[in-house]
Structure 1
Amino acid sequence: MDTEAQHTERDPSSDTDSSGTEEGSRSARVSGDSGRAPEDSARGSDDSARGSEETERTPSWRRTALVGGACVVFLLLLSHFVIQPFLIPSGSMEPTLRVGDRILVNKLAYRFGSEPARGDVVVFDGTGSFVREQPRGNPVTGLLHDGAAALGLAEPDETDFVKRVVGVGGDRVVCCDKDGRLTVNGVPVQERYVMLGDRPSSVPFDIVVPQDRLWVMGDHRSQSSDSRDHLGNPGGGMVPVDKVVGRADWIAWPFGRWSTVPGTDAFDAVPAPPAGGHGAGAHG
C-alpha cells in the first residue's frame, strides 16, 4: 500500500512535471515560431514591394515610350503640313542666314491662294531646275535621313535649296544697269540684303520669267549657286512655283539669333509686268 501510495503520490507529480515539460516545450515552440514570424513577414513584404514596383515600372516605361512616339509622330506631321525646321548648310544666304542656323519654314504661306512675292526667302525643291533627278540610295537610310531633316536635326536633301525671290512670272530681270544695279521691269533695285562687298552679279543676264516660275538668287552673290548658274539648263534656272516648300519666316536657333527673317522693301517701287509682256530683246 505504501508502494501504491508512493506511486499514487508520485504519479500526479510526474504528470504535472510532464505536463509542465510539454507545456514548456509547446511554449518554446510557439515562442520560437513567433520569433521567426517577423523575419518571414518582412521578407514577404519586401517581395511584395519588389513585385509591385516591377509591375508599376513596366507600364511606366510603356507610357514613356508611347508618349515619346506620339510626340515624334506629332512633330513629323507638323513638319510635313505646317512648319518645317530647316538647317542652313552653306553661306549662300549670308548675311541674312548663316551656316548652322535653323529656320522655320511656313508651309501654309502659299497654300490658300497666295504666291511667292519678290523679296521672299523661300525653300524649294530644285529637282528638274537646279539638279537632275537622281536615283535614291538605301531606302531605310533615306527614310531615317528624311525624318531627321524634317526635324531640323540633319542637313536637308541635296535637292532642297533656300534662296530669295527676285523675279516672279512675267517680270523682266536684268543685270546690270550703268550703275551696276539689278533692275526688275526697268526699275533699279537697292539690294541692301546683299553681302557687303558683293556685286549684284558678276554674270550679266537679261531674262523674262515665265508664268508660274520664279527667278531666285542668294544674298551672298559671290558664293551662291542660283538661277544665274542654270541659264543654259532646261527651264533656264527658273523654279516652278509648285516646287516651293514654303517661306522662311523665323530663325529659331541658335538662341541668340532667334528672330523673324528680315523682310525687305527693295521691290516696293517695282511695277507689275505689262499685260502684253515685255518686248523683244529679253531671253529666258
Structure 2
Amino acid sequence: MDTEAHVTERDRSSDPDTREGEGSRSARFLDAPWRRPALLGTACAAFLLLFSTFVMQPFLIPSGSMEPTLRVGDRVLVNKLAYRFDSVPQRGDVVVFDGTGSFVREEPAGNPVTGLVRWAAAAVGLAEPAETDYIKRVVGVGGDRVVCCDKRGRVEVNGRAVDETYLYPGDVPSRVPFDIVVPQGTLWVMGDHRSHSRDSRDHLGEPGGGMVPVGKVVGRADWIGWPVGRWSSLERPDAFGRVTAPGPVGSHG
C-alpha cells in the first residue's frame, strides 16, 4: 500500500501571483475610463426616474387645448406632492390626470418594451405623455353645481358667475350648455381653449358623466420649465374667489 501522501492540486486562490493577477484585472476594470462615467450616468438616471415618479415630473404639452396658458411644446413641472397629506384639488388648479375610466374606457394595449421606453422618456419630459394622460383646469369640485351659461355667457359655479380671464382670446366659456352637480370625490375639468378642448363636456352622456375621480389625479402643474423664455409659475387664478361652498343637495332651485 502506498503510504506516501498524495500531492493535491494547490489552491490557486492562495497563490500570491494568482491573487495579484486577479486583483490587477479587477483594478483595470474599475479604472477603465468609461467605467465611472457609466456608473455616474446610471445613478443620475435612476435618481431622475425616482424623483419624477414620486416628487416632480416634467410633462410635455402635446396639444393646444390649454392655450394660452400652456402652448404646444411647453414642459410643465407637475408637483406630485401637491395633493398628499389630505390636500385636494381646488377650483382653478391645472392638473394632470389619468383619464382611464373617465375620458377613455380602458388603457390601450401595446408592446411592453416600447411602453417602458416611452414611459422613461415621458418621465423626464423627452416624449409625449401616455395617451391616457390629460392636463386640464379644475372648474368644479365635489358637491359643486356647474352651469353654462348665464345671460352674459359665463359659467356659474354654485350660483356665482366666473370671469374666466384665462380663456383663449375669442373663445366663449362653452358652446355646449350643461347643468351638472359634481359627485363627491370627483372633478369637473375643462381646457382653457374651449373650442379646441375635449374635456368633461364631451363625456356627459358616458358612464361617469365626464367626471374625473380625485384618485386619478397625478399632480398639479405648478411651473412652466421649458422653453427658457416661458419660465413662470402657474398661479391659481382669482376667478373662483367669489364661489362659495355648495349648499345642501336640492337647494338649487
The TM-score normalised by the length of structure 2 is 0.87
Cα distance in 1 for partners of 2:239, 2:186 equals 20
Note if 1:179 corresponds to 2:152. Answer: yes
Amino acid at match of 2:205: G
Cα distance in 2 for partners of 1:62, 1:103 equals 34
User: What corresponds to 1:268 in structure 2?
Assistant: 241
Amino acid at match of 1:88: I
CA contact (8 A) 1:208 1:278 kept: no
Amino acid at match of 1:121: V
Task: Pick one of 141, 145, 165 that aligns with 1:168.
Answer: 141
Cα distance in 2 for partners of 1:141, 1:72 equals 18
- The percent of aligned pairs where both chains have the same amino acid is 72
Cα distance in 1 for partners of 2:56, 2:233 equals 14
Cα distance in 2 for partners of 1:82, 1:270 equals 31
How far apart are residue 58 of structure 1 and its match? 4.8
For residues 28-79 of structure 1, the C-alpha deviation after alignment (integer angstroms, 9 at most, x for no partner) is: xxxxxxxxxxxxxxxxxxxxxxxxxx94995331111010000000000000
How far apart are residue 277 of structure 1 and its match? 1.7
User: What corresponds to 2:120 in structure 1?
Assistant: 147
The structure having more radius of gyration, on CA atoms, is: 1
Amino acid at match of 2:191: G
User: What corresponds to 2:86 in structure 1?
Assistant: 113
How far apart are residue 278 of structure 1 and its match? 3.8
Amino acid at match of 1:62: R
Task: Pick one of 228, 246, 249 that aligns with 1:277.
Answer: 249
Aligned length: 229
CA contact (8 A) 1:84 1:151 kept: yes
Note if 1:159 corresponds to 2:132. Answer: yes
Task: Pick one of 50, 62, 75 that aligns with 1:77.
Answer: 50
Alignment of 1:103-252 (within 5 A): 103-252=76-225
CA contact (8 A) 1:129 1:238 kept: yes
How far apart are residue 132 of structure 1 and its match? 1.3
Note if 1:257 corresponds to 2:230. Answer: yes
Cα distance in 1 for partners of 2:108, 2:76 equals 28
What SS does structure 2 have at the residue aligned with 1:143? helix
How far apart are residue 262 of structure 1 and its match? 3.5
Amino acid at match of 1:258: W
CA contact (8 A) 1:88 1:100 kept: yes
RMSD: 1.8
How far apart are residue 261 of structure 1 and its match? 1.4
Higher helix share: 1
Against the structure 1 CA distance between its residues 269 and 229, is the aligned structure 2 distance closer, same or farther, given a 3 Å change threshold? same
Against the structure 1 CA distance between its residues 135 and 222, is the aligned structure 2 distance closer, same or farther, given a 3 Å change threshold? closer
Structure 1, unaligned runs of 5 or more: 1-53
How far apart are residue 280 of structure 1 and its match? 6.9
CA contact (8 A) 2:107 2:132 kept: no
Note if 1:97 corresponds to 2:70. Answer: yes
What SS does structure 2 have at the residue aligned with 1:96? coil
Structure 2, unaligned runs of 5 or more: 1-26
Note if 1:63 corresponds to 2:36. Answer: yes
How far apart are residue 136 of structure 1 and its match? 2.1
- 4+ runs of 1 displaced by more than 2 Å? 54-60, 278-281
